[in-house]
Amino acid sequence: MMCDTSIKGRVLPTQLDPDGRFCLVCETIAPPRSWHCETCNVCILKRDHHCMFTSCCIGNDNHRYFLMFVLYMFIATVYASYYNIYFLSDYITFDSWISIFKIVFPLATLFMEWTENQLYVFFIIIVLLGGVFTGALLQFHIDLMLRSVVTYERNMKSKYDRGQWKNIEIVLGHRWHLVWLTPWIESKLPCDGINWDKMFSSKTE
């Protein structure tokens, strides 16, 4: 959230790149892979999407932090779900269809039968669904990273695909093998999000 991945304060090209565009709102030339965010009201370098959880755009400079955030959320929810289910097994017995109904529809039964146990079931299922959601989200964004595309480019063949290992480095930086441990590890990115054509071939190598 503290990373400004927009075009603010950047030295932008003065000539329109074949893959770039002129932004009428920002009144400037937007580099390749940059798109204007209506929520942030500014063009974002290598914009992937506007994250509703962090209320900021995910772009060139904070892409790795977003991936780490999703990874940590996935690990936390899976870890919590394991112990939650273990805890729940001592309170729930599957001896009738009503007990199964309570598991499938915890919110409905919470209002019908207010008990502490039913409240536990409701929260446990919320955490479990969170694990499924973050797992799917993590898989989706790792696939994009390995193909060197962002969300807008997911159905296109990437012009910046340099192989999986180089693609990982483009997102996570030169010390990509360490950044998963903590966000405080410095890992310089090979691209500034502006001069793509100068650093990467326009065709897959």
Residue partners of 179: CB distance under 8 A and separation at least 6: 64, 68, 172, 173, 185, 187
Residue partners of 162: CB distance under 8 A and separation at least 6: 148, 170, 200, 201, 204, 205
Burial 6-15 (b: 16+ CB within 10 A, else e): bbeeeeeeee
DSSP one-letter code for 10: -
How far is the C-alpha of 31 from the C-alpha of 26, rounded, in Å?
Answer: 12
Question: How many CB atoms are located within 10 Å of the residue 171 CB?
Answer: 25
Catalytic residue among 40, 43, 51, 57: 51
- Whether 51 is a known active-site residue: answer yes
Tokens 């400004």 map to which residue? 4
- Report the catalytic residues: 51
